[in-house]
Structures are given as C-alpha cells and as structure tokens.
Structure 1
C-alpha cells in the first residue's frame, strides 16, 4: 500500500478468502475531531490470477450499479473465482448517503478529481487512493454509472481509445462481452477529459469499461439486469470467474462519442420542451427542443437545433434548465457499425 495515502483499512488485499469491512476516510469535524467515514469494501481472493476492481456509487444518485454490486458481493465466494475481486458499491460514500452527485462534505465530484491528492479534500483523498493503491494492482476496472438526477441514458457502455492497437482490441472486446446495446468510444471531450477514473488508469495499464445504466435518480430495471450479467460475463472473460451460465450478450452497436458538438446545451434559462426521444435518429439542423422563457412568456420559444446528426443516447431529465445545462448527447456510428455478441 502507498505510504502517502491517509485512508486505511483492516482488509488485506493479498489474503485469500472473503473479507468485508470498509476503507476509513479520515475526517475532522466540530463533533468528531478524529473521526472517519466508512467506504464499504469487499475483497475476494483465491490464489494467483487477475484482479478486477468493481466500482459503483462514484455519484450517489446512480443506483443500478450499487444494487448490482451489493448482490454480487453477497452471492460470490472465494471458491467461485481464481484471482481477486475488489468490490466498492459506494465509493463516494458521503454522496451515496445523501443521494447526490456531489459529496456533501466538500461538494466534490469524484469523477472530475482524478488522480486526486493524498492530503486534499475528502473526495480528492478517495480519488488518490484509487489511483495510487488500487489501480496498480488491478487488471480490469468496471465502473458502473447512470445519468443521476439530471440526465437519462440508454443503457450503454463506453471505453476510452486504447493507447496501443493491442489495448484497443482488448477494450473493444470488453464492450462486446459486457453486452450493452450501445458501446461507444470517447476521449472525454464534453465531459471529464483527463480528470476521470478511466483517464487516470491509462498509466497503470488497467483496462477500464464504464457503463451508463439509466438516469433520473430512478432505477432502470434493464440497466440493473445489464449490470449484473455484464459484470459476470466480464469476470468470466478475464479468467476470474470459474463458470457463468447466464444470458449471452446481445449485439452491440459500436459508436463514436468524442466531440463537443455531439452535445446540445441550453444557451438561456427557461423551461425546455424536448422534441426528440432517446434512441431517435436526428439530422443536422433538426430542432431538438423548444426553450420557453419564464421572464418573457409572451416571446416565441427559442428553437434549439442539433449541429450534427446522430443517435440520441442521452437527454436531460429535469424540465427547468439554466444556461449551460446539457440537454442531449448524440452518438454516431463507427465502421464497422456493429460488434456481434
């Protein structure tokens, strides 16, 4: 373990068996001068083999991954695997407790603070621990997300472009095995850029696949089922899970998600009226939404248009918007257009 981290735990990641405890995130408050915040952690190990790091709860208002990893942590035992699985169902525990995207401790967005700081804010310390302690011992990272309060996603999975052709092929295979209907490549433009977990993992060599499983701070049952079976398929694929007899993955539509102009934003405050739905195919110049002014209700609504054509994979969930809010995200097909499962 890195000597610089301030987070500690009774879990020994090199010990065989099943261990359940927590990471202890130090916190000093008015009523708890030497306190800590628990980050629930499960470690299963059975001899030598690959290591998988399974994460949910990076954002506290995204629930499919949290439930999927809770079930996985209860149902799997050391005898089911060869190698090691580290499960963190509520990585940003303060955000999970409060049902928020950001931590109520420091207003930190965990997936915008990588690689973190050992002696930073609470959220920066979590990012640093993942970067410096967990990623160096990990072969596969599965990071489960959804749209949270503000966005609604079609169940999908994404990867960053590989740093080598060989790594790219391995990452594309992860999309195929996970089996989300939409699999896309993104360099983080329009989102977190270099501040996300997948970006931090590039230097460690760990393969990272991220899933978007629903949104609106609700529970998408299709997304939950995809998370459960997709993770199990990935564990079998990398040689950790001894057997898997569940559902085979369906076909994956391989798409591009890089480019700021694939995102549509509100350029004023108001009430937005979407004119397209998830999974719609749209054309450049098509009207995406009407934006109704609260201050000037007598004015005609502003027409918000798509600058590019593509496939609607994500849309805003709340109807009230402020200038700068993301309203839609598009994808465009790559060649070849499909990876068959």
Structure 2
C-alpha cells in the first residue's frame, strides 16, 4: 500500500492569460472527505481572507482525517486595490459562473476554479462578508433547488454553525451556488462588513470552518454557541435610481407586515422609492451609505421559516 503523504502542499490554479490563483492542499493522516474552502472572491471582504490565512498556520495535518484545499485570496489584485471587482476587467467574479475560456479574465478565473476545485470537493465552503457600504448579520446561505440530496446535506451542515441565520438561496451564478447546481454540496458564509475586519469576527469565522470540518468528520469540534434560525422567502432590494438612502430598520432587527423598511430620495427631496415589509420578518443586511447609485444593493430581508 502506498504511504499517505501527510503535510501541507502549496499549488497553483492556472488561469489562461492571467496570473495563477494560489492554493494549499492539506493532507491528513487518514483517508476521509475533502473540504474546499475559498476566500477573497471579493477582494474587499477581509474577515474571511484573514481567517483562512490564520487557519493555514494552525492546521496540523497529523490530526486530520481526509484533506482540505484552502484558497486564501482568489481575487488578489482586488484585495490590494480594495475592491470587490477583478481590476483587470471590472467584473464581479461571483456573477461569472459558469465560467468561460472564451471571455475576459474574470470568466476565465471562474472556469479555472470550476475545473480545479469542483471535481475534488466532497463539500465546498465559500467565505464572504459585507461590502464596505454594508452592515451584515452573520449568516450562511444554503442552496435549495439543487436537488434533495444537496439541499438536505447543506441544511444539516448549516445547522451546525454558530451564527444568526441560515438562509434558503435560489442563486445559481456564484462560486458556491454553481457548485451546488453541479452536484457539489456547498454553502456560503457571510461575516463582517463595512470595509473592516476584527479579531472577534476572524475567530468566529475560523470557528465556522472548524464546525464544517467536524461535520465532515475531518477533525473533532463540538462547540456551538448558537443555533441559526432558518430564513425563507429572502428579498434583495436595489436602488431604482441614484439618491439619498434612509434605512428605517437595521441588520438583525425584526419588522412587521406593512412597516417602512427604508426610502430613497432624489436630490430634490422627492421620494424615488419606498420599501415596505411584505410580511413579518428580519433584516439580514442593509446598506449604511447615505449616497447610492442605481442598481446598488439597499437591503436584504427574509421570513423566519415555520416548521
């Protein structure tokens, strides 16, 4: 029998006509599941990037079962320039799945990630956070509509995480959501925001990774500080024009049917948009910027799932 090569092994994910994406394979002592952990799809979401950076130093391969593929910063140029876009072509990587070898660099990055990571993953964990203009409650998105097996497995995994909400998602064009469409169980965790990172959020993000590792029987981890509330019927509101944004409810707060959640005013003070609650629910995240442009996210909210 061939001896297992336990250890940490850096490797590159080649992107045609662009710089490769750096990754690390951590091989455990015994056979087991393969977890893929990605961060930095958006270069300005810092909690996840720092968490994976620290986790790389903390992990001890001899104590692991199976293996972990860690991708600390996918959009490295965006990280250094402080933007969620890929600077080379101005695209949002998380809107470029499925990828394409025939399009610009961001689409080729998506294609390379699919080709390199999806076939190896028993489970994929994509780490994100709120944009510099967003305030966010810690949450996890899990896919619905990607098949019963994927849905139930990811729901069970989400229930093991210490965070506020687990949100049913019908998205299909992101790194994790396209993985789910391809039959790979995957979830997306959101932590942090406002263009900052903190020691508390970084430690909480690492804890979430350990909880997924434990769920996959890669390493024991039995701590769970809170159980997430499941959210259905999530709504994502965007600005109909540029103007002044006044939010009436903040991230993590509840509301009742008919309540005003926020309004958008033009430069003349006339109301351009009002958002009223269609049901009783909670705010998942909101934009805290006063000035917004057309199409900019304003807030997301959802309904607590009744079981």
Q: TM-score, normalised by structure 1?
A: 0.81
SS of the residue corresponding to residue 178 of structure 1 reads: coil
The alpha-carbon deviation at position 227 of structure 1 amounts to: 1.1
| Corresponding position: 1:42 with 2:24 | yes
> Which residue does the alignment assign to 1:266?
239
Question: Size of the alignment, in residue pairs?
Answer: 302
* 2:274 pairs with one of 290, 301, 304: 304
| Corresponding position: 1:93 with 2:76 | yes
Gaps of 5+ in 2: none
Say if 1:39 and 1:91, in contact at 8 Å, map to a contact too: yes
Say if 1:92 and 1:123, in contact at 8 Å, map to a contact too: no
| Corresponding position: 1:252 with 2:228 | yes
* Distance in 2 of aligned mates of 1:283 and 1:244: 38
The alpha-carbon deviation at position 304 of structure 1 amounts to: 1.4
* Distance in 2 of aligned mates of 1:335 and 1:220: 34
The alpha-carbon deviation at position 21 of structure 1 amounts to: 4.5
> Which residue does the alignment assign to 1:318?
289
Per-residue CA deviation, residues 52-103 of structure 1 (Å, 9 max, x unaligned), is 0000000001011111111111111221211110000101222222221101
Say if 2:37 and 2:68, in contact at 8 Å, map to a contact too: yes
Q: 1:173 to 1:85 in 2, by over 3 A?
A: same
Gaps of 5+ in 1: 1-13, 28-35, 189-193, 337-341
Higher Rg of the two aligned structures: 1
SS of the residue corresponding to residue 323 of structure 1 reads: coil
> Which residue does the alignment assign to 1:288?
261
SS of the residue corresponding to residue 335 of structure 1 reads: coil
The alpha-carbon deviation at position 307 of structure 1 amounts to: 4.6
* Distance in 1 of aligned mates of 2:277 and 2:260: 10
* Distance in 2 of aligned mates of 1:292 and 1:104: 31
SS of the residue corresponding to residue 177 of structure 1 reads: coil
> Which residue does the alignment assign to 1:334?
305
* Distance in 2 of aligned mates of 1:38 and 1:129: 9
> Which residue does the alignment assign to 1:153?
136
Map residues 229-240 of structure 1 onto 2, 5 A cutoff.
229-240=207-218
SS of the residue corresponding to residue 31 of structure 2 reads: coil
> Which residue does the alignment assign to 1:78?
61
Say if 2:13 and 2:113, in contact at 8 Å, map to a contact too: no
Instruction: Give RMSD over aligned pairs.
Output: 2.2
* Distance in 1 of aligned mates of 2:240 and 2:12: 44
> Which residue does the alignment assign to 1:136?
119
After TM superposition, which residue ranges in structure 1, 4 or more long, deviate above 3 angstroms? 21-27, 162-167, 220-223, 299-303
* Distance in 2 of aligned mates of 1:239 and 1:166: 18
> Which residue does the alignment assign to 2:169?
186
* Distance in 2 of aligned mates of 1:220 and 1:334: 31
* Distance in 1 of aligned mates of 2:164 and 2:5: 37
Say if 1:288 and 1:303, in contact at 8 Å, map to a contact too: no
